[in-house]
Amino acid sequence: MNLAVIGFGNAGGKIADRLLAFERETGRSLSAFAMAVNAAAIDLEKLEEIPEAKRLLIGQTHEQVKGRGAGADPELGAEVTRQDLNEIERALDGVPLHAVDGFLVVAGLGGGTGSGGAPVLAERLRETYEEPVYGLGVMPGSAEGGRASLNAARSLQSFTNATDNLMLFDNDAWRSTDDSIEGGYQRTNQELARRFVTLLAAGEIDGSQVSESAMDSSDIRRTLSTGGVSTIAYSEATVERETRKSQGLLGRLSTNGHDEQESENSDLPMKIHGLVRKAVQSRLTCPADVSSAERALIVISGPPREFSQKGIQRARQWLEQETQSVEVLAGDDPRQDADHLSACVLLSNVTDVPRVDQLQEQAVGAQDSIDDQAATREDEIDELITDDQNRLDPV
């Protein structure tokens, strides 16, 4: 797929930046257009891949914001986004509509600008364009506290409703105790980029490599067309020695034309089937009960000589059983020079996601204590500033 990628807020911008870096590093092509939108000037300055001309500062004239961000207040994030929607739309005039399959709006759900602003933008994009609008939403870690959970649980509702599909990444599932916060984000953003780019860029090849069952962007679109939220599974294995040899120039000349013969290697079907099982059974971008998915899609990516139709079919049948879904699509994505073979699985419209329930519980608790505090605050101030017997008068 080719997408117009818009990173909204701090996490959104950093992640969009990381997606571009991953594309560059692996020679893949996902974003036909990329842009960052933020209410905090300082966050936009930190980006490396998104060119300066494609970084838009919103809320500059807003009294409370003035380039300093929305202060983890999604209402404010939504307000400044609404206020500056025309400006955002003008910047989107640069999207090469003939070359994109859809939009991808990326945001962290626990803050203010992305949490409040991304759903507002997604809704407008859906009203304006015919192309599908996808979301990539990052759920906060539980250690971030009640306010982040409350923001995320509320944003999750509006972002899901405003998009054709909201793909989730759960920081809680990906945190590591020995990381610094920013170091941890760098690591998780890389893992996130690996999964999203490998999946969504499948099929975008320069035309020189053909394969029997190449993944097509319409397969991905179809799988995502369920609505709801989705999660992604991934695993990889190094390529065989023979493949590595064939990737050298001499080797490639000598095996030229023998790819089909190689793919009859009896271990390859097992390798592919095993990779898909391993992916689905390991950490998903957002943990979910696989059997609750409505549709699924498998992408096997790597050197074509490691592909096996038999393996892909077996993996597809296995996943059909696991998801109890009739609709599991599978295909490959040839990457001649890749040093590993990977399996990426999109589980679309998963409805059993314990982390969302947990987030909502934490959010309700936070909402209650915010309400309680608001109700008693006036009394507490009053009590503080008046003497015990109320014998003093204010001046």
User: Which one of the spans 104-112, 213-221, 257-265, 274-282 is the region binding ligand GDP (CB under 6 A)?
Assistant: 104-112
Interaction between residue 16 and ligand GDP (CB under 6 A): no
* CB nearer to ligand GDP: pick between 217 and 285: 285
| Closest CB 44 distance from ligand GDP, rounded Å | 10
Q: In the window 178-197, what residues touch ligand GDP (CB under 6 A)?
A: 185, 188-189
Here the tokens at position 72 are 């983890």
* CB nearer to ligand GDP: pick between 189 and 325: 189
| Closest CB 34 distance from ligand GDP, rounded Å | 16
Interface size with ligand GDP, residues (CB under 6 A): 22
Q: Is 113 annotated as a binding residue?
A: yes
Interaction between residue 81 and ligand GDP (CB under 6 A): no
**H-type helices in the chain, by residue range?**
9-26, 41-45, 74-83, 85-91, 113-128, 146-162, 171-174, 181-200, 217-224, 241-247, 249-255, 259-262, 267-281, 309-323, 354-385
Interaction between residue 148 and ligand GDP (CB under 6 A): yes
C-alpha to C-alpha distance for 162 and 127, rounded to whole angstroms: 10
* CB nearer to ligand GDP: pick between 109 and 239: 109
C-alpha to C-alpha distance for 21 and 274, rounded to whole angstroms: 29
Chain centre to alpha carbon of residue 32: 17
> Of the candidates 7, 59, 102, 112, which one interacts with ligand GDP according to CB under 6 A?
112
* CB nearer to ligand GDP: pick between 69 and 331: 69
* CB nearer to ligand GDP: pick between 8 and 307: 8
Instruction: Evaluate whether 235 touches 275 at the Cβ level (below 8 Å).
Output: yes
Interaction between residue 137 and ligand GDP (CB under 6 A): no
| Closest CB 260 distance from ligand GDP, rounded Å | 42
C-alpha to C-alpha distance for 395 and 392, rounded to whole angstroms: 9
Interaction between residue 114 and ligand GDP (CB under 6 A): yes
Q: Is 144 annotated as a binding residue?
A: yes
> Of the candidates 59, 108, 228, 331, which one interacts with ligand GDP according to CB under 6 A?
108
Contacts of 106 (CB under 8 A, 6+ apart): 5, 6, 7, 8, 11, 12, 15, 16, 19, 114, 118, 135, 136
Beta 340-348 vs 229-238: how paired, if at all? antiparallel
Phi, psi angle pair for 216, to nearest 5° = -125, 150
Q: Is 184 annotated as a binding residue?
A: no
Interaction between residue 149 and ligand GDP (CB under 6 A): no
Closest CA to 13 of 46, 59, 60, 61: 46
Interaction between residue 331 and ligand GDP (CB under 6 A): no
Residues pairing with 231 in the sheet: 347
Here the tokens at position 197 are 């780019």
Interaction between residue 111 and ligand GDP (CB under 6 A): yes
Interaction between residue 231 and ligand GDP (CB under 6 A): no
Chain centre to alpha carbon of residue 91: 22
Here the tokens at position 310 are 């038999």
Interaction between residue 10 and ligand GDP (CB under 6 A): yes
| Binding residue ranges | 112-114, 144, 171, 189
Q: Which residues bind ligand GDP (CB under 6 A)?
A: 9-11, 14, 69-70, 72, 108, 110-115, 138, 140, 144, 148, 171, 185, 188-189
| Binding residue ranges for GTP | 112-114, 144, 171, 189
